Structure 1
């Protein structure tokens, strides 16, 4: 069954030209960011004589208001933005799956307490919490990852809880309980494998959400601070030069748009391939 699901994903992907394009674009952006060190330009080197130069053979994306090469900064910024997206997704998924499984499997008072706690936290606008935490915590990549992770796990927990409540009533789980298997063994062997599909889909979509959150914080000046580049901070620096040098905002904005869009497209393909019934709705 598991193999059949991944075969469905492969078929869905191969039959979707937009999906193939999304995978290729994500691969190229990720590879370019990883290999940013191969660039001959220093992302933090300032040159007053090369300020606000338009795209050219020497500076593919032009230069910013400090004369720094925008293309190289975009590559290094991609490292930060993608790292924040992936690491935030991993931490949020671990927390969300843990809370969701505990709440859904044990039910009762534990479930009520955890869900009421989630209701209270989720009733507060996420972006307001982001801003408050970013003000009191030192702006750094590590703190941004922690902040975003602490906000994203709640949506995963709700999905996992609902799926766990359905899985624990399956015959093979009931049989495992009746045969005397330990609670941990049942969760590890029967519940978690059954959650794989929904977790993968949620995780893929959360990468896009994390990148958007980081970019928004950096754009507002509460994220990773200069001279370290992120796509959001590059947009922030371009605000005062939109008319004079629109390319300063165009390229990082385009990278954010493409990355988020491609992850969302990939998430939809995974959802349809792994959960065909959901895809038909």
Structure 2
């Protein structure tokens, strides 16, 4: 792993050997509906609270990702996941029965990218298999950051709709991988950790505008460090900037 500017480039890229994404009913009606491994019509997951439902979704995504990678929990060196609840509560309850060394991470809309970046760096540093994941639930995040649904507050046009779902990826060291897995694996060639960029947006219902400056700075710094341009990539993805934030970006 070598550092170029603020970007870390892997000489032996870590590999994503398995992944899974599960989602709620609303997400299952959207343009990505055919890309989810499972869509849950009951967004309570049969649980007593939305927070427990979020944990159940993350647990399900982790199990599916491990199965797709043909990896047992006992073979995992570290699992890094995060959510939108206090002290990564959703992740803790999702993992408490899986017996895997757990590192809780919080990055809000960047949590999945953050856990992937750190998993890749740990694998590059000598770990064999890491699991990266993230989860959120619309109803639990509304209660955490705005108003409970029961309050019936008006949603302004700039407000996003936080996803109900969870995603997970299994990252492995290239040196120890089965040749058959190598063919279908996705390489993580480089990682770039962004810098907090606060331009003073204080509207809790316009998070896209608050996040857009950091997204723009991170993308620009990465392109500069790697001497690449946007046309070199099939996709450039960010956290949920919404319509307003995407326009600003």
TM-score, structure 1 normalization: 0.24
TM-score, structure 2 normalization: 0.27
Structure ID, larger Rg: 1
Higher strand proportion (structure 1 or 2) = 2
Higher helix proportion (structure 1 or 2) = 1
